[in-house]
Structure 1
Amino acid sequence: MSKRTKYLLLACLVPVFILLGMTVKPLYTIYNGEEILLQTIPVDPSDPFRGDYVSLRFEVEEVPLNLVDQEILDKRDTMYNAQVYVSLGKEGSVYSPTKVSLHKPSKGIFLKGNLQYFDKSWNPVSQKEAVEVAFINYSIDKYFVEDNTGLEWEQASTRGDIVAKVKVFNGYAYLTDIMMED
């Protein structure tokens, strides 16, 4: 095999290995992660060009400030897009945040996310008035559904009647399924 052929073969294989490498973390999480349920909160999707999908927001994305470490609150003006760890505790059948920290927890189930900003939130399902929260992004906000079922899921989403099944491994979350609450 000539040197030129080896370089051509290498040039063709590099993108293949990169694409295969991108699937390792999600697949490992699906097979070895712990399955948890997360409660959604109402949201109205507004993109008709993507097919049938449900845009999801989770209660764990809006964490009350009393659960945020003081270290984060002291630097709140410089914390945009900072990586944080959100420890979770089980409340009934779903998991809710118990603490937000800059440091990875040594035990228990946690999510790794990016702190977006601090603001007031008003969730009509669980709160009677606006409370100040930390908004955290976990990149698990869209789920594509079977054709011609999008309207039903959208209506359930606007009511906050969807529970998401998520696999979690070492803070990485992968959305595997959604279910309507009865």
Structure 2
Amino acid sequence: MPKNRLLISALVLALVQVGFLSWIIASRAAILRNGQEVLLKVEPVDPRDLLRGDYVRLGYDISNIPAKMVANAPAGQSWTAAGPIFVRVKKDADGFWRATSASLGKAPATPPTDGEVELRGEVSSSWTMDENATLRVDYGIERFYLPEGEGLAIERDMRVRNFGILAAVAKDGTPQIKALMDGETKLYAEPLY
């Protein structure tokens, strides 16, 4: 009887693990398939990771949010706690999406208007509220892995031409990278699974 109980426990544990991994993969695929697409202008940071291979580390115009753009920023105080921030973006004339407003901690009560999308990020730096303060925001889309040997060439090209990331954004504001864009050309697309 104890052997059967052990076998059943192992099977249940294996099913829970497979179910959890499937849920993670399916939720990412759902964002890529159904999320609102936004094009974000990128700035390269570093193209290599010796353990993982070539990648492009990305920074965005929306990675530095002026503190005066944050609707519920604590006036005259410093902010040291990392935490969620919701950044609304809108498509600009050049096709890239740029920040229009932000809210710390929770999404604003008013939903985004037509043509706006809300991205959820994490404040990654402390700041003091003054006229020049900025918040550093991470969105979880700061790395894009490339085929081996192509990172340095892409990094060089990014310094002379406009590159972008086509991101899919879920209704809760979670972004996922869908493709790396060189102008209007899709260089690399992320597979759903």
Pick the TM interval, shorter chain.
Answer: 0.7 to 0.9
* 2:112 matches 1:104: no
2:165 corresponds to = 164
Is contact 1:40-1:160 (8 Å) kept?
Answer: no
Give the 5 Å matches for 1:14-163: 14-45=16-47, 47-69=49-71, 71-74=72-75, 77-92=78-93, 93-102=95-104, 103-105=106-108, 106-107=111-112, 108-118=116-126, 132-159=133-160, 161-163=162-164
* Partners of 1:28 and 1:18 in 2: CA distance: 15
Is contact 2:44-2:57 (8 Å) kept?
Answer: no
Q: Judging changes above 3 Å, is the alpha-carbon distance between structure 1 residues 8 and 119 closer, same or farther for their aligned structure 2 residues?
A: closer
Report the 3-state secondary structure (helix = DSSP H, G, I; strand = E; otherwise coil) of the residue aligned with 1:74.
Answer: coil
* Partners of 1:114 and 1:75 in 2: CA distance: 21
* CA-CA distance at 1:60 after TM superposition: 0.7
**CA shift digits 1:122-171 (9 cap, x unpaired):** xxxxxxxxx53111110101111123221111113445732111001120
Is contact 1:162-1:178 (8 Å) kept?
Answer: yes
* Partners of 1:17 and 1:49 in 2: CA distance: 29
Per mean C-alpha deviation after superposition, the further-off stretch among 71-80 and 8-17 is 71-80
Report the 3-state secondary structure (helix = DSSP H, G, I; strand = E; otherwise coil) of the residue aligned with 2:125.
Answer: strand
- Name the one with the larger helix percent: 1
* CA-CA distance at 1:118 after TM superposition: 4.8
Report the 3-state secondary structure (helix = DSSP H, G, I; strand = E; otherwise coil) of the residue aligned with 1:72.
Answer: coil
After superposition, the CA RMSD in angstroms is: 2.5
2:182 corresponds to = 180
1:127 corresponds to = none
Report the 3-state secondary structure (helix = DSSP H, G, I; strand = E; otherwise coil) of the residue aligned with 2:78.
Answer: helix
* Partners of 2:96 and 2:6 in 1: CA distance: 57
Report the 3-state secondary structure (helix = DSSP H, G, I; strand = E; otherwise coil) of the residue aligned with 2:30.
Answer: helix
**CA shift digits 1:24-59 (9 cap, x unpaired):** 321110111011100112423453442121111111
* Partners of 1:12 and 1:46 in 2: CA distance: 35
* CA-CA distance at 1:75 after TM superposition: 7.9
Could you list the runs of 5+ residues in structure 2 that have no partner in the other structure?
185-193
* Partners of 1:86 and 1:40 in 2: CA distance: 17
Identity %: 23
Look up the equivalent residue of 2:107 and give its one-letter code.
Answer: K
